[in-house]
A and B are shown apart, each in its own frame.
Chain A
Amino acid sequence: MSGPFVSLLIRDLRLAARSGGSAALALAFFALVATLVPLGVGADLKLLARIAGGVLWVGAVLAALLSLDRLYQGDFDDGSLDLIALSPLSLEQVALAKLLAHWFSTGLPLTLLSPLLALLFGLSGDGTWALFLSLLIGTPAVSAVGAIGASLTLSLKRGGLILPLIILPLLAPAVIFGAGAVTAALDHLSNGALGLLSAFSLAAVLLSPFAAAACVRLNLAG
Chain B
Amino acid sequence: MFRYANPAVFMRLSGALLPWISAAAALALAVGLYLGFHVPPDYQQGMTVTIMFVHVPAAIVAESAYGLIAIASLFSLVWRHPLADTAARAAAPLGAVFTALGLVTGSLWGRPMWGAYWVWDARLTSFLLLLFLYLGYIALWNAIEDEARAARAAAILALVGAINLPIIKFSVDWWNTLHQGESILSGQIASVFLWPLLIMALGYMLLFAALWMIRIRTEIVNRRARNLMQRAA
Contact = CB atoms under 8 A, between A and B. Distances in A.
Interface of A: 148, 152-153, 155-156, 158-159, 162, 165-166, 168-170, 172-173, 176-177, 180, 183-184, 191, 196, 200, 207, 211, 214-215, 218-219, 221-222
Nearest to B126: A172
A173 B167 contact: yes
Contacts of A165: 132, 135-136, 139
A205 to B, nearest CB: 14
Contacts, number: 81
Where chain A touches its partner, the secondary structure class is helix
Q: Give the interface size class of chain B.
A: 20 to 34
A156 B143 contact: yes
Nearest to A157: B143
Interface stretch (B15-23, B93-101, B170-178, B217-225): B170-178
Interface in B153-204: 153, 156-157, 159-161, 163-164, 167-168, 170-172, 174-175, 178
A155 B144 contact: yes
Interface of B: 129, 132-133, 135-137, 139-140, 143-144, 146, 149, 152-153, 156-157, 159-161, 163-164, 167-168, 170-172, 174-175, 178
Contacts of A153: 140, 143
A156 B142 CA distance: 11
Contact of A196 (B133, B136, B164, B171): B171
A183 B180 CA distance: 13
Nearest to A207: B163
A152 B157 CA distance: 8
30 contacts: A148-B157, A148-B160, A152-B157, A153-B143, A156-B143, A156-B144, A162-B136, A162-B139, A162-B140, A162-B143, A165-B136, A165-B139, A166-B136, A166-B139, A169-B129, A169-B132, A172-B168, A172-B171, A173-B171, A176-B172, A176-B174, A180-B174, A180-B175, A183-B178, A191-B178, A207-B163, A211-B156, A218-B152, A219-B149, A222-B149
B171 A168 contact: no
A177 B133 contact: no
B90 to A, nearest CB: 20
A176 B171 contact: yes
Nearest to B135: A165
B93 to A, nearest CB: 15
Contacts of A172: 129, 168, 171-172
Instruction: Pick the 3 closest A-B CB pairs, nearest first.
Output: A173-B171, A166-B136, A169-B132
Contacts of A219: 149, 153
A165 B161 CA distance: 12
Nearest to A168: B132
B149 A166 contact: no
B41 to A, nearest CB: 38
